[in-house]
Structure 1
């Protein structure tokens, strides 16, 4: 039996933008080794594998697993957006109740201005300061110094299904010039259990420019990272760096030629964070 693998770009703002993801809408019967092999053949940072269950009162329940070309990932935001849009194109907009390795995730799809849009509600978020010795190692791997860091946004490790290093810098130029030591950062992230490093510059209180190194997935940089965006939203809320409720706009991928936009909605009384974006099929 041949497994159909769809190719979508999530969080797109223009043709050629967004983060590519593989999508398998029927992963029934696929074992771990097969899913990893498919993810390796696809070659994107993640491929999502959906196993659909029952539909009840307009909500479709499904299990989903995510594989990078290297290993399984507990949760992936951009592949979830891609999967939701691909599913909605075939079955109509609606709600998905997804069971992931990181917990239950609710997704809704709708049409806006003739384009399908998906909103993903993340697993509950939390955040903690980075250990000083670990921060020193991270700065060395990133080829930055403490003087490069934004004093308004303290270095943290934030969680929304996966753990992400969160570091803000003082200038857009520092972010744009990023040239990090892949091997050193890969070793540090493996030791600390981080999935990506969420590196950002604040244009204003609710607008951020972001780069996301992803060595654990064998990827130098992710052009759009939904799970990290959700974790970052939780970080901003927990540290009272934004008023709630609010919508945060994240611009990512511009420095690597794949412009992406992620919309992050943060409320005071919900431990989850909602991340919204578009997705489009990648032409063969």
Structure 2
């Protein structure tokens, strides 16, 4: 999301190489393997608009399903940033998935065909996404793996923090981690977090804020049974409060990536072997 001083928003139009030619969207695109999402949005913005930007904040995180022209169903996880222009000249992309970039007056986006997620972010009406029926699972990881995950910095009224220990044989095995995990096909980050929180800890919480976005790229990671994964995970971190904490226990089936779960004081947590995501999250909150 990039706005000018007079409130106009910068939009790009899908080219003939895109899935939806002639449909307008916020500038952006896919995260390359191993790339930090922050770097992605700066790179994609420059490619599609010719402008350099700096990130001002993370606005929201979304997920949606769309039926592509060939009939397949695409699940997209989207991190929506607020950005500010720092240089460059407005120039449309050539030979890419967009062919035009324009500043659109605040009252005008509703007059254009918009991708549904863009319409939602801008607060204007759009054609609804066609409902998708059926049950979809998560593919088994083989070779290069890129996952989108939602994680919780979950605390109770006493200030304790909820952590999970990664099972041996998984990346980070033996370390204590924030509860959470990958989103399933058709699942929003919020729903994925609620599911993972219960599966890994038996707790039910309430999201109180978006704490940040990070990633981890581990090309040497080994999965279960020593299978190389070339692992890249994009992580959204939410602040979560658990209003009625109970004894934490793993409820997912045996053999999963979570060995145990427990509540800890901040002092106790500081003496545990922690993943870098957990260390960073606890450090940012004192």
- TM-score, structure 1 length as denominator? 0.25
Higher RCO (CA < 8 A, seq sep 6+): 1
Larger strand proportion of the pair: 1
Query: Over alpha carbons, which structure has the higher Rg?
Result: 2
Larger helix proportion of the pair: 1
- TM-score, structure 2 length as denominator? 0.25
